[in-house]
Structure 1
Amino acid sequence: MTSTSKNLTVDVIIIGAGPTGENVADRAVQGGLTAAIVESELVGGECSYWACMPTKALLRDAAALRAAKALPAAGGAVTGTLDPAAVFARRDQFTSSWKDAGQVEWLTGAGITLVRGHGRITGPRAVTVTASDGTTTDLQARHAVVVATGSSALVPPIPGLADASPWTNREAAAATSVPGRLAIIGGGVVGVEMATAFSALGSQVTLVSRTRLLPSVEEFAGEQVADALRTYGVTLHLDLDAAEARRDDAGEVHLTLSNGTEVTADEVLVATGRTPNTKDLGLEHVGLEPGSWLKVDDALAVVDDSGQLEDGWLYAAGDVNHRALLTHHGKYQARALGDLIAARASGQEPDLSAWGRHAATADERAVTQVIFTDPEVVAVGHSAASAEKAGIEVGVVDYDLGSVAGASLHADGYRGQARMVIDEQRKVLVGFTAVGPDISELLHAATIAIVGEVPLDRLWHAVPAYPTISEIWLRLLESAGRDR
């Protein structure tokens, strides 16, 4: 229900109605509290309209087509190429054509008050919301204010780039036509996923990255994705910067790279990172810097260098706290936080132990990620390098996924690799990374093993079905036993 009141008092105010904010509000209401959620754009947030859902819809048809072509009979039965209009139409179904009526209906059913407009913190537990028509609503929270405003694409200060009208993830996710030539600046997740999608849709794609591809995951995974992109006709310029950009009178974009190479394209997509949506949030009223990421403790209370602010009424969840810029981790934080606020409101002492219900410790120990390229990349917990940096006595076990019976059945010429990172002192898994076609569902088994701190000896009794790709777990354990 939409509030028309100029003054409203509730138990919890949430600024930002993306998946994180929605889940905080829902858990707080389930815990017996009242909640108002503030949103200046579409209810459902970045993930629903410009990130997770539409981008994965853009990628899915290409993945299915490539999977079919990897088998002789199925590949022989496939004729023609992808129809971009059909791909875009299916994408539109997942975004509800950029209308949020369904999401608003869910809020109403959950008993959450929606206040549309731009929210700014104006004092302790106080938020003023300015609607598009200039009217304001003053909100007061009895217990907590939660910032869940997310992040936006970062456009780097490359000379001429801003004037060249670049795409960000939003324009790419909502595209209604396929550019003949697409230049992508950035070799992270957005860059490689959109290179995969648009090359399949018919674009001639050039990707420029100042590092190797996917620098946040194990190097072998990025190398296999790079090899695949080259196979699909993508031109890669790695370890180079875009030094200058301009769009000419004919509409073409010209990039000059740091080695002098010139790249010409019809559109340029910037995928170089994110910036927090905190510039006009009123942070100055609580002694924080506008435009900054919000530092939080494991209970997601906003803190500064001197400790917790005020008396613990201000919280931040999701991208804006910079712990793990992933929708599923934002929702994980939200579940813990909504329950925590409800517990504190009732006078209970929440469980903030290492794996306590109200502590978002997985953001440090077991961040999970699937990169929906072809081949897919999955990762959870430590890489070998991050484990060593954390002071862990590291053991690394690698195995060729293509030699697993289930993988060879899955696709002819299957190529992939898996890595376990082991804490040798405790003999438990602390990290897992794999790359290969259709492996995203492997990830949760690794996540459970890491979060549950399951000893390797116990994992021997988790018997994988034959012949499935999950047999990789047996092969990794066998290799670990031989090596130790």
Structure 2
Amino acid sequence: MADEDAVFDVIVIGAGPVGEIAAARVVRGGLTAAVVEKRLVGGECNYYACVPSKALLWPMELAYAVSRMPGLGLRGPIDTPAVLARRDEVVSNYDDSGYVDWVEKLPATFVRGHGRLAGPRRVEVTTPDGDVRGLRARHAVVIATGSAPDVPDVPGLREARPWTNQEATSVQQVPKRLVVIGGGPVACEMSQALHSLGALETTVIVRDGRLLSRIEPFAGELLALSFADAGIDVRFGRSPVRVERLDPGGPVTVHTDDGARIEADEILVGTGRRLAVDDIGLGTIGLEPEGPIEVDASMRATQVPDGWLYATGDVNGRNLLTHMGKYQARICGDVIVARANGRPDDLPSLRDTADDRGAPQVIFTDPQVCAVGLSEAQARAAGFPVRAVEYDLGQVIGALLQSPGYTGRAKLVVDEGRRVLLGATFVGPATVDLLHGATIAVTGEVTLDRLWHAVPSFPTTSEIWLYLLLECGL
């Protein structure tokens, strides 16, 4: 006779940052929870993406800043082994026991294994030893399985065993020759990080005519100049047509559509991600197995009867950013608690509005690229009455104090009808600290006339707000 299912109020499949937050919120609200994870608890972000990539990029940023400042010239190259050791430290040497302890101290029940839906409110977990354990939810199942790197269908590419963000961020031996496919955040960040750590010949193949094509054009232009200054070879308007690797540990050859041939020691693919929903049992409840899982503003799946299924983070396709997934998880957990206890579930804090207005994003390249809300092109396509203003960050005394010849730019996108911000973009060294103020202004729909009275400190780069508002006619 099969073992009886273990019963919990809520079952969370996926124990990355998003799943952890969802579980924490339901437990905080007095419900019981089980958390299922096959791989490392803490998820892609903590081991192979956000956290380790920044551990690799931060020394590069410091080195660039110091090398630009008179009197503080950088002496010698970056100590790559020391940087990699620090990276290993911040990812806990790929040991997830600390995160497992955190989950269990919520308290929630942690189940190690591959979780799959097996009908309404039921989850089957295949454990590492091959056993199958049944779980049943009284109130809700939350899918928080995230996404995985996508490898395009280029002849020979998969056979060449390319790096993705996972291999790039966990690198133990930096290749001397590196070819990168893609012009988005992962490709740009890891190109610069690995180049600074010893990839002396770094070639970036970009299908589009610019880097970071979803952000304001000047962002990609300034970043391309930085790549050129560093000796990174960027080839715009090109695509790989064939990849060859004859020996498993040997060199790789990339053929591009202009007839060029690029030899490298490793190839890194940074062309996008696919939703991790292909083997979680969506078909058992009548959903398409490839996703995304469509949800309403409370994160509840819209195509599942009785409203017991929720999806947070990448799997719902709303926004593939960790901080936005964590935001959705807070909403999701609190909504589940409210509904389980018969309390109002329509409070403003229980609905996702941030995704519609534009999520903040930081690309930790040199220069940093920081954006929130809509770009000018997006705002015009949406039919807003748009006014866009730009200003040279290098003209702000606070920026010039950071280094002579500071290069950067800022832009606001304004809804002329309501006189509120639709979007903001800042590109330059150390611009990340300007972003949250812009996020508050965009999310809160603060009018330009009110922003005029938010006085920036002197001498800081935040004075850019004064100059941008002056450009708006205030």
TM-score, normalising length: structure 2: 0.97
1:329 paired residue number: 324
Match of 1:229 in 2: 227
2:421 paired residue number:
429
Alignment of 1:21-420 (within 5 A): 21-75=19-73, 78-203=74-199, 204-211=201-208, 212-249=210-247, 251-303=250-302, 308-351=303-346, 356-420=348-412
Secondary structure, aligned partner of 2:194: helix
Q: How do 1:467-482 and structure 2 match up within 5 A? A: 467-481=459-473
Q: Report deviation, 1:6.
A: 6.2
Runs of 4+ in 1 over 4 A off after TM superposition: none
Measure the CA separation in 2 of the matches of 1:457 and 1:276: 42
Residues 393-434 of structure 1: per-residue CA shift (max 9 Å, x gap): 111010000000100001111000000000000000110011
After superposition, the C-alpha distances for 1:131-190 in whole angstroms (9 at most, x for unaligned) are 011111111001111100000000111000011010011000100011010110011000
Identity %: 52
Measured after TM superposition, the shift of residue 248 of structure 1 is 2.5
Alignment check: 8 A CA contact 2:331 2:352 kept: yes
Aligned residue identity for 1:66: Y
Equivalent position amino acid for 1:172 in 2:
A
Question: Greater shift after overlay, 291-300 or 274-283?
Answer: 291-300
AA partner of residue 236 (structure 2): L
Q: Distance in 2 between matches of 1:179 and 1:256?
A: 19
* Pair 1:465 & 2:457 matched: yes
Partner AA of 1:45 in structure 2: G
CA RMSD of aligned residues (A): 1.1
Q: Which residue number in structure 2 is paired with residue 12 of structure 1?
A: 10
Aligned with 2:105: secondary structure? helix
Count of residue correspondences: 469
Partner amino acid, structure 2, of 1:404: V
Cα deviation digits, residues 351-407 of structure 1 (max 9, x gap) = 26xxx2111121121311000000000000000011111111111010000000100
Which structure 1 residue ranges, 5 or more long, are not aligned?
A: none
Superimposed CA distance per residue, residues 231-286 of structure 1 (whole angstroms, 9 cap, x where no aligned partner): 11100111111111011337110001111111110000011110111111111111
Amino acid at match of 1:367: A
Q: Distance in 1 between matches of 2:90 and 2:382?
A: 40
Whether the 8 Å contact between 1:6 and 1:136 is mirrored in structure 2 is no
What SS class does the counterpart of residue 137 from structure 2 fall into?
strand
Amino acid at match of 1:338: G
Q: Which amino acid aligns with 1:40?
A: K
SS at match of 1:357: helix
Give, in angstroms, the shift of residue 318 of structure 1. Answer: 0.5
Amino acid at match of 1:314: L
Q: C-alpha separation between the residues in 1 aligned to 2:5 and 2:359?
A: 40
User: Separation in 2 of the partners of 1:19 and 1:361?
Assistant: 20
Code of the aligned partner of 2:45: C
**Corresponding letter in the other structure for 1:339:** D
Contact 1:381–1:431 (Cα < 8 Å) also in 2: yes
Task: Give the SS at the match of 1:65.
Answer: helix
> TM-score when scaled to structure 1?
0.96
Q: Which amino acid aligns with 1:345?
A: A
CA distance in 1, matches of 2:310, 2:104: 24
